[in-house]
C-alpha cells in the first residue's frame, strides 16, 4: 500500500486523518499563500492545496502520496485570512457577527504521476457577538492562527447557531470526500483504531 504524507502543520488535520484510521507521516511544505488578482475563493483554496501537495512531494523520496489541504473563511466573496493582529481579529469577528458565511476547504493528493483535488463548501451561521465578548475571545489566544479568526472545534463553537455542510471540512479536512479521494490513490481508511495515535506523527 502507498505511503501517505500530510503536507500540513495543522494538528487538526492530523487528528482528523487519525480519526478515520489512516496512517501517515508529516512533511513540511511552506508555500506563498497570497491570493492572485481576481482569484475566486474556490480557485484560491484548490490552488493552494495542490501547491502544498506538490511542495510536500518534492521533499520525499521513493513512491509516495502527498495530501495538501487549505481552508478559507469567505464573507460576501471576500477571503478572511488569519488575523494579522488584535484589531484585525476583532474586525473580522464584528463582520461575522449575526451573519452567515462560507468555509471552503480544498484537498489535493499527488503521487508524482497524477493529481486529484476537490473543494467542499459549508455555510456557517453566527449569532451576534458583542465587542466585549470578542475581546475576551481574542484574549483566549485561540483566534491567533485561525482562518476567519475563530475555531469551530474550540471556544469559538459558542458563536455557531447553524451549520450546513461538512463539520470536519470547517475544522480543516472533509472526511467523507477525503476518504473517497484517498481510495482513488490506493489508500484505505480504518487501518488503525480511531482512538490510536498515528505512530510518531502525534
Helices 175-184 and 11-19: angle between axes, nearest 10 degrees: 70
Nearest CA to 114 out of 72, 66, 173 is that of: 66
Instruction: Using alpha carbons, list the distances in angstroms from residue 63 to 3, 58, 192.
Output: 7, 12, 21
Distance of CA 179 to the CA centre of its chain: 15
Q: Which one of the listed residues 32, 70, 76, 145 is annotated catalytic? A: 70
Q: Is 70 a known active-site residue?
A: yes
Residues with catalytic roles: 70
Amino acid at each position: 500500500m502507498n505511503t501517505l504524507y500530510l503536507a500540513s502543520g495543522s494538528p487538526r488535520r492530523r487528528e482528523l486523518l487519525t480519526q478515520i484510521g489512516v496512517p501517515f507521516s508529516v512533511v513540511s511544505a511552506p508555500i506563498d499563500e497570497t491570493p492572485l488578482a481576481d482569484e475566486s475563493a474556490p480557485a484560491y483554496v484548490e490552488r493552494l492545496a495542490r501547491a502544498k501537495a506538490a511542495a510536500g512531494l518534492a521533499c520525499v523520496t521513493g513512491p509516495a502520496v502527498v495530501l495538501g489541504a487549505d481552508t478559507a473563511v469567505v464573507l460576501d466573496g471576500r477571503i478572511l485570512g488569519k488575523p494579522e493582529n488584535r484589531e484585525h481579529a476583532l474586525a473580522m469577528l464584528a463582520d461575522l457577527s449575526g451573519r452567515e458565511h462560507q468555509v471552503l476547504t480544498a484537498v489535493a493528493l499527488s503521487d508524482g504521476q497524477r493529481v486529484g483535488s476537490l473543494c467542499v463548501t459549508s455555510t456557517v451561521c453566527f449569532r451576534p457577538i458583542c465587542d466585549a465578548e470578542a475581546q475576551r475571545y481574542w484574549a483566549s489566544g485561540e483566534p491567533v492562527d485561525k482562518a476567519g479568526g475563530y475555531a469551530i472545534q474550540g471556544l469559538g463553537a459558542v458563536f455557531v447557531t447553524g451549520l450546513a455542510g461538512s463539520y470536519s471540512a470547517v475544522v480543516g479536512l472533509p472526511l467523507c470526500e477525503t476518504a473517497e479521494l484517498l481510495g482513488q490513490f490506493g489508500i484505505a481508511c480504518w487501518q488503525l483504531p480511531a482512538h490510536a495515535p498515528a505512530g510518531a506523527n502525534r
